[in-house]
Structure 1
Amino acid sequence: MKTTYVFASLLALLVGCEPLDVPQSPTEPCSPVSYANHPRHQTYLTELQQYRQKSNAPGSILLIQKPGEPRWIGAVGKSNLEHQTDIQVCDQFRVGSITKMFVAVAALKLQEQGKLRFDDRLATLLPGTADRIPQADQITLRHLLSHTSGIVDPPNESIAYQLSIVDDYQERFSLTTGQLLTKYVYGKSLHFAPGSGWSYSNANYWLLGQIIEQKTGQRLHDVLDDWIFRPLGMNDTYLEVRDDRNVVRGYADLYGNGRLYDVSHWDRADSDGEADGGIISTAADLATFADALFNGKLLTESALSEMIKPTLLPTCPNGDCEYGLGVEHWKTGLGTAYGHNGGSVGIEANLLFFPKNKGIFVLYKNNGNGSDKSLMDRVMP
């Protein structure tokens, strides 16, 4: 899901003295590759070290891929404070809302196949929503993909949703997507008439996940595995719920005093296995995905153009919502970059593609607060 600063702040107020899970030690350490001989190794490493220190993150990973020089990946700090495990360049981590890019690609591939159209209505695609989501007969596939449906966003707006993770994260973790929709979305008023405004909502992608499964007859994980992960050789990426002991732990400064608490159990309950933010991946796999997507290896030219085309509405600042179909638009010193931010209580991840030089930037830290990402303007040109 998108970075949840409000969510994390509320959890800090509610957690009290609740004992948190003691993380298990990793069972299958990955085999890191050394980038020490890279011509800009020390420059990039210094930037990463400063980023980690400024953001108070236990650990951080940075990937830089640009024409004219070999790919570089660096990792500094710890992936697991309890066991003092060093973070590695090959470690798997939660990517949060970067997941939405993958789900959007699956929806666009179905559109290429003639199985979906951008103006298909939610009430038709998922008949069960007809009497449960207001104006479901006017909400289109494009509205869901672009966050212009007006549907509520439980992870960032619903205190009941947030309390469910604090009070009993194991029960929350057991809820299906359909149960999440029933409990937190159905019957709730829209923020605006479909297509008239822009409002980020993880529920849009809960619904998209159901639509993709309904159209393919497969679990969303299997669709992504068949269409993206395996064809691209992304062997360390998955969506389904698995034993997560080899995944980097997530941490948060719950009380604003600098002390970090392991909140991985909340991160898991919030998104694992879900279409809005459940993918587990690595820096290298994310770069592989971005390279394939933005260089035309996953979608046709017309579909990719639709994906990155900005959503323009009078209600957005300067008329530009800075979002396409599952893709954020970032204004940077190197021009507009396409990609997505992802975050939860204990993590923040970023994946960006720079059309100007075809560069790829991946930045991850296992601390859920926001961060100054201006280092990209120094390392990407």
Structure 2
Amino acid sequence: MTLSRRDVFKVGAGLVPAVALPSSPAYAAAAPTLTVTGTAPSQLAALDNLMKTYIKQRNISCAQLAAVKNGKLVLARGYRYSGDTAVPAVQPTSLFRIASLSKNITAAAVLRLAQDGKVSLGAKVADLLGLSAAADSRLKNVTLWRLMQHTGGWDRDISGDYLWVDPTVAAKLGVPLPVGKSDIIKYAGGRPLDFAPGARMAYSNYGYMLLGLVIEKVSGQSYESYVKQKLLAPVGITRMRLGRTLKSQAAPGEVPYYSDYTTKTVLDASGAVVPWPYGGFNMLNHDANGGWLSSAVDLVRWARIFDAAGPALNATSITRAFAKPEIGVSTDGSWYGCGWYVRQVTGHLNTWHNGSMPGTYAYLARLQQGFTYAAIFNHREETGTLDYDVLSSQMNTAWNGVTTWPTKDLFPTYF
């Protein structure tokens, strides 16, 4: 299941801001040139060339690709395509916002809490967080399972995406910008659910925000510290962290982000017009549903925790991560597990997810024959005519055509 161009916008933001495009350093007048870093063995030239063509066609200034075959990192590449000298070279370890790829991190943290006997996956979120069901008694039936599998009862097509309407929340509650998670919960709590929990699947950023708060409540730690301690550190991942909203708050090695749009800031009531990736949304509220920074190398390293029982997740937790929801599978044979789309193929469960927010498009897939890859970009499909979602089909064609795979493991190089 790949999200359509229309859905890509809704994953990241609700409505597209109707503000004219300013000049952007990503699309400066100087002719762009391509600079690559890292390692792409000749056997994998098709994957490397695919990325070069993809970013040139879409004028994307920063990108990464990492690929794993049978547990070994066989390709790690950074791409810079720009005529602006202010755009830095992209290393295989540079950091990008990964948007909704954060969801399988959050779901894994909940699974780890259950693995350690800290919480039941059938526990009610209203009980755990003390949420009022005054507006809709059905809230009492929203479990952690249902939040992880997007069957909790919130449908952004009907009620909107509560994580992307900060000015509306502020106006409704009579509070100043910026709004926080407690404000979003209060706003959502005054509205009925869009459907009975467990009745169907509807993608919900709000549900994953609630899961982040559950992790904090049950663990007694901040969401970020729990994930780092229980999931990332045990598998040697040290660079991944939560992102911040402003460009001035960028982490060391983090790339710049570009959008075709500007909008009014949600960080205060000034009405200042800002680049959409830098103040058009509040990263602090998006931590558990879309707030992580990572490199493609660390994303494929992260994906390995789902390959077999290890120090982060045991076999039961991995099985739960890909379990079918109570509503069953979709018409195309896929389903949404816990932070992953899933499809059974012969002898394997293929799992994947994309991420999209202003200034970011990311894709992570675990496929048959031991092939896993991650690709990240500092721009997403907005006003252009080229579909970004074709990446997965093009990548499938490229890797299926590889006849000889490299044997050298690059993970020690990028640890």
The residue type equivalent to 2:324 in the other structure is P
Query: Residues 89 and 142 of structure 1: is their aligned pair in 2 closer, same or farther, counting only changes over 3 Å?
Result: same
SS in 1 for 2:54: helix
Q: In structure 1, how many angstroms separate the alpha carbons of the residues matched to 2:162 and 2:128?
A: 29
Using the aligned pairs only, state the percent identity. Answer: 21
Q: In structure 1, how many angstroms separate the alpha carbons of the residues matched to 2:158 and 2:79?
A: 30
1:126 deviation in Å?
1.6
Alignment correspondent of 1:25: none
The residue type equivalent to 2:288 in the other structure is A
1:140-161, Cα deviation, whole Å (9 max, x unpaired): 1111110001124499925994
Q: In structure 1, how many angstroms separate the alpha carbons of the residues matched to 2:78 and 2:345?
A: 24
Q: RMSD of aligned C-alpha atoms?
A: 3.7
SS in 1 for 2:242: coil
Alignment correspondent of 2:189: 186
Alignment correspondent of 1:313: 327
Q: In structure 2, how many angstroms separate the alpha carbons of the residues matched to 1:100 and 1:141?
A: 13
> Map of 1:293-308 to 2, 5 A cutoff?
293-297=306-310, 298-308=312-322
Q: In structure 1, how many angstroms separate the alpha carbons of the residues matched to 2:218 and 2:134?
A: 21
Alignment correspondent of 2:250: 244
Query: Residues 69 and 250 of structure 1: is their aligned pair in 2 closer, same or farther, counting only changes over 3 Å?
Result: same
Gaps of 5+ in 2: 27-35, 263-273, 382-387, 401-415
SS in 1 for 2:154: coil
> Map of 1:56-95 to 2, 5 A cutoff?
56-67=59-70, 71-78=74-81, 83-95=86-98
2:37/2:78 contact within 8 Å kept:
no
- Normalised by the length of structure 1, the TM-score is 0.81
1:311/1:320 contact within 8 Å kept:
no
Query: Residues 51 and 105 of structure 1: is their aligned pair in 2 closer, same or farther, counting only changes over 3 Å?
Result: same
Is 1:235 paired with 2:249?
no
Alignment correspondent of 1:377: 396
Is 1:364 paired with 2:371?
no
Alignment correspondent of 2:206: 203
Q: In structure 2, how many angstroms separate the alpha carbons of the residues matched to 1:265 and 1:172?
A: 19
- Normalised by the length of structure 2, the TM-score is 0.75
1:330/1:337 contact within 8 Å kept:
yes
2:163/2:206 contact within 8 Å kept:
no
Corresponding residue pairs, total: 358
2:340/2:351 contact within 8 Å kept:
yes
Alignment correspondent of 2:179: 175
1:271/1:277 contact within 8 Å kept:
no
1:35 deviation in Å?
1.1
1:312 deviation in Å?
5.3
2:344/2:350 contact within 8 Å kept:
yes
2:61/2:378 contact within 8 Å kept:
yes
1:79/1:86 contact within 8 Å kept:
no
Q: In structure 1, how many angstroms separate the alpha carbons of the residues matched to 2:63 and 2:9?
A: 19
> Map of 1:143-162 to 2, 5 A cutoff?
143-153=146-156, 157-158=160-161, 161-162=164-165
